[in-house]
Amino acid sequence: MDRAPLFLLYLNVLIVATCGLIYELLAGTLASYLLGDSVTQFSLVIGLYLSAMGVGAWLSKYITRQLAACFIEVELAVAMVGGFSAPLLFVAFGAIDWFRPLLFGMVFVIGTLVGLELPLLMRILKEHVDFDDLVSRVLTFDYIGALLASLMFPILLVPSLGLVRTSLVFGILNAAVGIWGSFLLRPLMTARRAGGLRGRGVLIIGLLTAGIVKADTLTRYSEEQQLSASIVYAETSPYQRILITKNRTGFQLFLNGHLQFNSTDEYRYHEALTHPPMSAVNTPKRILVLGGGDGLAVREVLKHPSVEQVSLVDLDPSMTTLADRFPPLADLSQQALSDPRVKVINSDAFVWAGQQTGEPFDVILIDFPDPSSFSVGKLYTSYFYRRIHRLLADDGRIGIQCTSPLVAPQSYWCILNTMEDAGFHVQPYHASVPTFGIWGFALASKFPLESEPILAEDLRQPLRFLNSRTMSTLFSMPNDLTRHDSEVNRLNNQALVQYYEQEWRLLE
Amino acid sequence: MNHAGIPEGRFSRRDWLLTSLAAATASRFTGCQQVVAGLTGDLLKPGMTLGHQLRDHSLEAGEAIDATNANLDSDGSVRNVEVAIVGAGIAGLSAAWQLKRSGLSSFRIFELEQVAGGTSRSGTCDVTEFPWGAHYVPLPDVSNTDLVTLFREMLAVQVTEGDRTLIAVEGVSCREPHERLFVNGEWLDDLYPRSIATESDLKEWSRFREIVSRWIDWRDAHGNRAFVIPVAHCSQDPDVLKLDQITAAAWLSEQGFSSQPLLWLVDYCCRDDYGLTIEQTSAWAMMFYFASRLKNSGDSEPALLTWSAGNGAIVQHLSSQFSEKIETSRPVIRIIPGDGRSDQQSVIHVWNPDSDSKETWTARHVIFAAPQFLTPHVLADQPTERIESVRRFQYGAWVVANLHLSKRPASAGAPLSWDNVIYRSDYLGYIVATHQVGSDFGPTVLTWYYPLCDPLPSEDRKRLLAATWEQWAEVILQDLRPVHPDLGECLSKLDVLFWGHAMIQPRPGFIWGSDRPLAAEPVGNVHFAGTDLSGLALMEEAFYHGVRAANEVMAARENSASAGAAK
Ligand SMILES: Cc1cc2nc3c(=O)[nH]c(=O)nc-3n(C[C@H](O)[C@H](O)[C@H](O)COP(=O)(O)OP(=O)(O)OC[C@H]3O[C@@H](n4cnc5c(N)ncnc54)[C@H](O)[C@@H]3O)c2cc1C
């Protein structure tokens, strides 16, 4: 071989090295995205990858014939496995239980293949180049490649291409280098072998390109899962994606990627939602809970001895039966949904509320997810509140969660203004929930309220957060939580969804 | 006409449909099942049988008008009513509504079909009601007082307490999200395909909207608007009317528009509202679509009034006020008009398919609220020039399908909306019947629309008419599968309805030509209603003509009463 192709082969080394490190960085980043705890994930991935390269290097000695062709084979294999690594892992994460074995298995395979590459190449070249020269050049290009990869990855690739596309693009590059190598090393293999390799190379490039075309769908599907804690439960119901993560202090429930509660401090939230309206009614007997399929608000409701009947309306049967499949939730909710007084109704609260004609409720608790989509936004409209108005006893009370009045004041006040538009008298109040920050609620009634409620004394269990003194402080709104003007949220404008999106986007 | 301005792929539309139909036929013969296995449904063709019978067998068959027998029923009896209304579409029902409001209750409505509603009828199933045709009306302007009265009765609109403006009632006003467009593999909100628009596309789009704004704010010497609902109140200034001389496509190219997204959108709107492409629609009608709904260009877009049943809700509201007076499955096969001056009554022959016999009615006044193209076959003694004019009324055919789903199909991007449109599809997309009741999960019905705009050689037309349910089902699924790959799993039933003469076509020259006013003139004591008299198929126009015809009848009665008193 003459010098020109030799130089080109070094370039080949450079690209191969870059690709190798990119796959390693991808795996590390992905693992810390999906599994959380980035220090652990990164050091595990790097350690495993390096040792796998060692295994590859060691295995290389068993390859004795057709070195050039084998080298190209290896490159194509790296292109295929490495190129599809990120998309495959993303998709697998939501779909399988053995994600970790898959992740580390892939890291190991890629590491081994990459480890094979340089020893093979050096053995091919040693026939043609002075050995000292060879070692120094190959290693130099190898390290330059590593430098290139580590610079490009955070600065250029992740921000502009994202993980999935980066992975696919480098797979293509890797396969292209393989094809190119089949020309450079052509003298060292048979024509048939070279043709076969090129054919497969083109096929792999085709597959990876198809992957790029579909990449958007893939990332959208997996973005919701990029949570920073380890996942202990995952389920996709027809209505939403239910995920539970766990850390040292407790567990957290996510619906469609939105945090619903953290077991360590949810009591603050649910006590604040439940006890002000429950205490404001003399003997609350018939209670309606809308949303809140986790049963935590119902748990608080059942602490009031006068309660005779609780109707819980939640869209998703997978939510209202979650405690059966995830025992820690059963403990946390004190099996509230299995209480004989509780009737669980799985239906869309919007439609359900329109169909009710029976006896009115003494207390209605509205505990929907935040209004981040139109299908939830409709549950915060004046139209819906008018339906609820009909379901409430004349001396009844409503307690409602209304997102954060500090982070999203316009959204918070939009909810209160909308309730007023529907004929309610509304008192704002708030509580501090460490996981969420300052959280907003409202107490609503059909007639004007003079004072804030006094905590009921006959509770079956002591509360952890509220006592008779703290209750009234919830109702004194500090200066940074004062009223904002807003449009009324209606079915035909869904103003709230827009406020909400604008205000929470500022935080991202 | 500038062909460069035509969206690519236009000319293949007809071929595509015919090919699809052919493919569906072939697949049936080769036994390779393409339509979802186990899928069932009906193919309905309202009016076809009776309509054709009417055309072939009534007057033209030369049945002699026997003066002595004309007044006799098959069983020899004659029934009498003050006003006979022919057709229980929006026009006929509105006429009845207006008569009733004016204190006249001796009327009958004869309807050919088994149900009232005409092209605004609706259907119902366990899950929801759904439209079979018309599905919305934009919030009317306050000046349209009769229509506002009707919508206030229906609790669809209300007047605000403070500034007394007219607003749509929440729950009837179309719920957000209104519409979305499938373009380049995902759904985006809004109908304008912003994601693929280049800088110059956007420039054309805003220039187009500026022109529309100018027309909205335009007033003639008398202060009349260029485009306003009803058409009868539009300015007749030559500057506006000259738009009616050319096609929308010609106008667009005259104005230098060539942006594909813009041309697509305008073409879509014309097909959606008129069942015509931009090459067929009058430029006046096209501008009417964009400019008639706003009084001032600064106003925000008017709310859309819509119901699960579509405009079937209006039909139900109207019919419920006089249901005992609506005679369904009673096609009128002949009207012999009274002269309108003396007290001579009109004679109306009504077919009774149950007893396979003819009933005879007499009426002091008739309101003919069925489409004009039927009058040459039904109405005796009309001037020949009227018949010639009416023969120039052209109607387009539509196919409407209701897809019953057990769950919502998955989709990428913007969420399922009320109106769901596929960029560059030959068809119009679908609306979601359960949208208005606020249910976002579970079973629903999608109503899919398709106007047959292409001029079809009669051979092809015959083939279309002869197309089977399987063929239509395949055409519909071919349209929707690419945007909802899981549609097959969700679909439980698919009903297809073929409307033969569904919509009057506002082709150049028709709206402001002489045929329309001529056809609206009473013949003796027969008065005419029907949206086709406006040249545009719209609820507001059908309503306008119904009320107008009722008012004509009331005025004629007053005249004859005062004439009687003078004697
Ligand atoms: C697919 C489709 C979608 C549409 N969507 C909309 C929309 O969204 N909004 C809108 O405003 N408009 C829409 N339209 C236009 C719609 O046609 C008008 O809104 C309106 O319903 C027309 O009413 P009409 O009474 O004038 O005519 P028709 O609806 O045609 O009513 C005529 C009636 O007369 C009956 N009839 C005919 N012959 C006889 C006879 N010999 N004896 C007795 N009865 C007879 C017919 O059966 C029918 O019931 C749509 C039309 C179609 C076809």
Kindly report, residue by residue over A19-35, the tens digit of the pLDDT: 888 998 888 877 766 66
First to last CA, chain B: 62
The ranges assigned to domains in chain A are 3-217, 222-260, 263-505
User: For the segment B310-344, what is each residue's pLDDT rounded down to a tens digit?
Assistant: 999 999 999 999 999 999 999 999 999 987 676 78
Q: What is the DSSP letter of B280?
A: T
Comparing CA positions, the residue from A279, A288, A262, A299 lying closest to residue A461 is A299
Chain-centroid distance, C-alpha A164: 16
CA distance A348 to chain B (A): 7
3-state secondary structure of A492: coil
Q: Is the pLDDT of residue A78 over 50?
A: yes
For residues B378 and B567, the model is more confident at B378
For domain A222-260, the question of CATH label 2.40.30.20 is answered with no
CATH code for the part of the protein at A263-505: 3.40.50.150
Q: Is the pLDDT of residue B17 over 80?
A: no
- The upper half-sphere exposure of residue B356, i.e. CA atoms within 13 Å in the direction of its Cβ, equals 0
The pLDDT assigned to B567 comes to: 56
Select the more confidently predicted residue: B68 or A250: A250
What pLDDT digit, counting tens, does each position of B285-298 carry? Answer: 999 999 999 999 98
Q: Which atom of ligand 1 is nearest to the CA of B50?
A: 41
User: Which amino acids bring their CB within 6 angstroms of ligand 1?
Assistant: B 47, 54, 86-92, 110-113, 118-120, 133-137, 311, 331-332, 369-371, 374, 378, 398, 400, 449, 499, 502-503, 530-531, 537-539, 542
Which residue bears the tokens 């605000």? B160
Least reliable range by pLDDT among A158-162, A344-348, B114-118: A158-162
Find the residue in A nearest to B186 (Cα).
A217
Q: Which of A239, A374, A382 sits opposite B176 (nearest CB)?
A: A374
CATH 1.20.1250 corresponds to the domain A3-217: yes
What's the pLDDT at B458? Answer: 67
**Which residue type does A345 have?**
I
Buried b (16+ CB within 10 A) or exposed e, A356-395: beeebbbbbbbbbbbbbbbbbbbbbbbbbbbbbbebbbee
**Rg of the Cα atoms in chain A:** 30
Could you give the 3-state DSSP secondary structure of residue A503?
A: helix
- Residue by residue, what is the 3-state secondary structure of B214-271? HHHHCECCCCCECCCCCHHHCCCCHHHHHHHHCEHHHHHHHCCCCCHHHHHHHHHHHH
A422 contact residues in B (CB cutoff 8 A): none
A267-286 mean pLDDT: 96
Q: Determine the 3-state secondary structure of A445 from DSSP.
A: strand
pLDDT-based confidence at B4, cuts 50/70/90? very low
- Tokens 């290693």 locate to A139
Selection from B17, B120, B36, B32 nearest residue B493 by Cα:
B36
Task: Specify the higher pLDDT residue, A251 or B411.
Answer: A251
Pairing, β A361-367 against β A286-291: parallel
Q: Which of A367, A394, A458, A485 is catalytic?
A: A367
CA distance A461 to A459: 5
Q: What value of ipTM does the predicted structure carry?
A: 0.78
Contacts of A378 in chain B (CB under 8 A): 175, 438, 440
> What average pLDDT does the segment A137-154 reach?
86
pLDDT at B38: 81
pLDDT at B47 over 90: no
Q: What is the pLDDT of residues A83-120, one digit of tens each?
A: 998 888 877 766 676 778 898 999 999 999 999 988 88
pLDDT at B66 over 50: no
| Interface-testing mutation among A219, A490, A493, A501, with chain B (most B C-beta atoms within 10 A) | A490
**CA-based nearest residue to A150, from A249, A337, A24:** A24
Task: Classify residue B184 as left (phi > 0), alpha (psi -120 to 50) or beta.
Answer: left
SS3 content of chain B, % helix, strand, coil (to 5): 35, 20, 40
Instruction: Spell out the residues 6+ positions from residue A177 whose beta carbon is closer than 8 angstroms to its own.
Output: A12, A15, A16, A19, A75
Give the nearest partner residue to A315 out of B185, B437, B441, using CB atoms.
Answer: B441
Which two tokens mark B5? 């301005």
Q: Is A382 on the interface with B (CB under 8 A)?
A: yes
pLDDT above 90: percentage of residues in chain B = 73
Alpha-carbon span B271 to B428, nearest angstrom: 8
How far apart are alpha carbons A423 and A445 in whole angstroms? 9
Measured CA to CA, the distance from residue B432 to residue A413 in angstroms comes to 32
User: Which distant-in-sequence residues (6+ apart) come within 8 Å of A494 by Cβ?
Assistant: A374, A377, A378, A381, B175, B176, B177
Query: At A213, which helix (H) or strand (E)?
Result: helix A191-213
Task: Indicate which atom in ligand 1 lies nearest the CA of residue B531.
Answer: 26
B395: helix, coil or strand?
strand
Task: Compute the average pLDDT of residues B132-161.
Answer: 95
- CA–CA distance from B398 to each of A253, B401, B494 (Å)? 50, 10, 16
Contact A479, A440 (CB under 8 A): no
Provide, as residue numbers in chain A, all residues whose Cβ is less than 8 Å from the Cβ of B175: 378, 491-492, 494
Closest CA to B318 of B530, B553, B532, B149: B149
Task: Please tell me the predicted confidence (pLDDT) of residue B2.
Answer: 34
3-state helix, strand, coil in chain A (%, to 5): 60, 15, 25
Hey, is the C-beta of B183 within 8 angstroms of any chain A C-beta? no
Q: Is the pLDDT of residue A364 over 90?
A: yes
Residue whose structure tokens are 């509140």: A385
Q: At A138, list the tokens.
A: 């190959």
pLDDT, tens only, B379-431: 998 999 999 999 999 999 999 999 999 999 988 889 999 999 999 998 999 99
Segment A411-434 mean pLDDT: 96
Residues in chain B: 567
Q: Which residue of A has its CA nearest to B434?
A: A351
A367 part of the active site: yes
Confidence (pLDDT) at B7: 38
- The rounded distance, in Å, linking the Cα atoms of A125 and B532 is 86
Has residue B533 got a pLDDT over 60? yes
**Contact indicator for A44, A31 with CB cutoff of 8 Å:** yes
**pLDDT averaged over chain B?**
88
> Helix (H, G, I), strand (E, B), or coil: what is residue B134?
coil
Residues of chain B contacting residue A354, judged by C-beta atoms under 8 Å apart: 437-438
Mean pLDDT confidence for B217-240: 96
> What span, in angstroms and rounded, lies between the C-alpha atoms of A300 and B398?
58
Q: State both tokens at A101.
A: 């074995």
- Greatest CA separation found in chain A? 97
- Residue B13, pLDDT above cutoff 80: no
- Read off the pLDDT of residues A438-470 as tens digits, 9 standing for 90 and up: 999 999 999 998 788 999 998 999 999 999 888
Rounded distance between C-alpha atoms, residue B547 and residue B537, angstroms: 16
